[in-house]
Amino acid sequence: MRTRRWVIGITSSILSLFVGFLALNFMPSEKKIEAQLVRKYDTADPQFRRSLGVLLGPPIVEGNKVQVLVNGEQIFPAMLDAIRHAQKTISFETYIYWSGTIGQEFTEALSERARAGVKVHLMLDYIGSMKLDTRQLEAMRQAGVRVQRYHKPVWWKLARLNNRTHRKLLVIDGKIGFTGGVGIADKWRGHAQDEDHWRDTHFRIEGPAVGQMQAVFMDNWTKATGIVLDGDDYFPALDKVGDAPAQVFASSPTGGSESMHLMYLMAITAAARTIDLSASYFVPDELAVDALVAAARRGVRIRIIVPGKKIDADLVRAASRRRWGNLLASGIRIAEYQPTMYHVKALIVDQRLVSVGSTNFDNRSFSINDEANLNILDPDFARAQSAIFDDDWRHARPVTLTGWEDRPMLEKLSDFLASAIGAQL
């Protein structure tokens, strides 16, 4: 009996230590922003641009050309064409990379370039690429593609599994960059024509900001491999090719985890006229809700598009709905996209700033994942994105405060329970 009690006691102690270890492992390593920003300028003030450059890291650089690519039928051909014409280097970091027809096309294109002597570096998130057939991985490695799985789980660093690279970056020869919301999976093929083909947007960029995008990729590559990639093949001199001022910046729990959160709060706080937010996963924290409400109360027209019932994460939708009350009550308009899963991630402020990239409007993107966004400060480009937003809005169903308040009790309960774990969504 004594032996049994001793074994139970030891086992209990070990389990307690293990649970405590897990809890400590998953705690954030950096302090979170705790106070609402004070409004000192609007987006038209030169200080807004200066602050974006200073507080987020890289400066805003002139002379960029940005092209919008709507849905897989435009996105994938442009990315594959750029890969197939690469001459020196390909740097590719992505969260979702699955087996399927488009996955196979990318595998073949990357492998062909590697066999041709191009230095191909592929960073795949371990969780996001779990649906990729190991035979495809091996085929790329055999062809000479340098494949790195980000944060492959090991028992003594379990927290790393929760920190995922959600970035979506493709850089060709250090001169052409792509970022946005798209993953490498057949769900993104087509033109959002039905619920099996998602709605998304990606962006192609040329100019000096591509060097910043390459630097973001290099940061994770160095952390994961210990290898520094440098030189003209990766960072060539980049001439001005357009008129758009732009900036590529990143956030990560290992450094600057609050940069993305800060950028959104800065943009919302500086807004003077309009905010249009496309949010595939919208679970705002209290600071973000307060900032949006304060903007609405000073007269900013705010529209938010979120997915409707056609969503790949019902838990996220439930947690999102729980937080809509104060937003709707303050006059903010929220609409649920109807045709298919809405995976767009874009913020348009005052038709002056456009921020696009991998970032979702939730705590996971703001504090836990590795993310990267492209900021463009160009009124013409912003107006073009607003027109695309308007078209999406026409395919979305508005949510009213009355409708939100009168939703079924079971739905309210599920929203409450989902919201309780919102920090991990």
What is the total residue count of the chain? 425
Strand partners, 306: 336
Residue whose token pair is 């020196």:
88
Q: How far is CA 222 from the centre of its chain?
A: 21
Q: Where are the beta strands (DSSP E) in 194-243?
A: 201-206
| 42 in catalytic set | no
Q: Quick one: which of 208, 205, 225, 201 has its CA closest to 122?
A: 225
How far is Cα 90 from Cα 103, in angstroms, rounded to an integer? Answer: 16
Among candidate residues 168, 175, 197, 261, the one labeled active-site is 168
- Annotate 259-308 with DSSP letters as a single string: HHHHHHHHHHHH-SSEEEEEESSEE--HHHHHHHHHHHHTT-EEEEEEE-
Residue whose token pair is 């045709």:
339
| 151 in catalytic set | no
User: What is the amino acid identity at position 10?
Assistant: I
| 85 in catalytic set | no
Among candidate residues 151, 310, 343, 378, the one labeled active-site is 343
| 31 in catalytic set | no
Dmax of the chain from CA atoms? 80
Among candidate residues 219, 276, 285, 350, the one labeled active-site is 350
Structure tokens that stand for 143 in this block: 């062809």
| 157 in catalytic set | no
DSSP structural state of residue 329: H
CB 249 within 8 A of CB 373: yes
Listed in sequence order, the DSSP H helices in 322-398 are: 325-329, 363, 379-394
- Annotate 90-149 with DSSP letters as a single string: EEEEES-B-SSHHHHHHHHHHHHHHHTT-EEEEEEETTTTTTS-HHHHHHHHHHT-EEEE
Among candidate residues 121, 151, 166, 261, the one labeled active-site is 166
Listed in sequence order, the DSSP H helices in 132-208 are: 134-143, 159-162
| 168 in catalytic set | yes
How far is Cα 212 from Cα 209, in angstroms, rounded to an integer? Answer: 5
Among candidate residues 121, 125, 151, 173, the one labeled active-site is 173
Q: How far is CA 247 from the centre of its chain?
A: 15
Active-site amino acid positions: 166, 168, 173, 343, 345, 350
